[in-house]
Amino acid sequence: MVLWVFGYGSLIWKPGFDFDEKVLGFIKDFRRVFDLACIDHRGTPEHPARTLTLEPKEGAVCWGIAYCVRGGIEKERATMQYLEKRECEYDKKALVKFYKVTKSSHVLPLVQSLICGCHLYRFISTPDIIANRYYLGPAPLEEMARQIATANGPCGNNRDYLFYLEKAMLQIGHEDEYVTELANEVRRVLGVLKDNKAFDPHFPVKPKLSLIKTVPLLQEATVLDSR
């Protein structure tokens, strides 16, 4: 049995679990968005951070790293338990297909140089601000930047999460324009805040959310991350 874990956020630079292989690739028809609240890692209930989830977008390509976990059901279960705790703001899982680029046809159009991988699992956040208290939804760029610039939690501040992601995407050779634009706006906001100490944003999170449902391990599955 094999477990595939696809990282599109912090798992790119900090997987946090043992793996046997990693592969650069992408999924189709989804894009990163900073629409998910984090209240226990890089934010608090009073001032939640903004972290990643995925939203459907036809024609989009989301690059990341797929990690292969081999070694039997116990190793897979340990990995899933770790990820369930780390990705606790998600409330739904769904299947997605992963693609990787071959080494032999790098000069051909991308669609001609792909090997289609297995169907994969991913964690997602239900885009419903009533049903899912962790879903913040979209906001103007400046508003998101102010929230990210000022949020802090037990695992660090929100802006470093964004800046690490920006750097990681450059290192794997697939810059994300949305991430870069948001990071640049956060830098601008940080510059303004140096001269304006009175800024104190507040982004409340709704009080209740049922725990994420546990999905039985499949023979081949992938999990996606937000942090």
Q: Looking at 87, 89, 166, 185, which residue is catalytic?
A: 87
Q: What does the alpha-carbon distance between residue 127 and residue 91 come to, in Å, rounded to a whole number?
A: 10
Q: Is the Cα dihedral 98, 175, 34, 84 positive or negative?
A: positive
Burial 120-138 (b: 16+ CB within 10 A, else e): bbbbbbebeeeebbbbbee
**Can you tell me the distance from the alpha carbon of 168 to that of 160, in angstroms, rounded to the nearest whole number?**
12
Burial of 56 (0-12, 13-18, 19+ CB in 10 A): exposed
β-pair partners for 152? 157
Report d(CA 182, CA 146) in Å as an integer: 10
Provide φ and ψ at 195, rounded to 5°: -105, 5
Quick check: is 55 catalytic? no
Active-site amino acid positions: 87
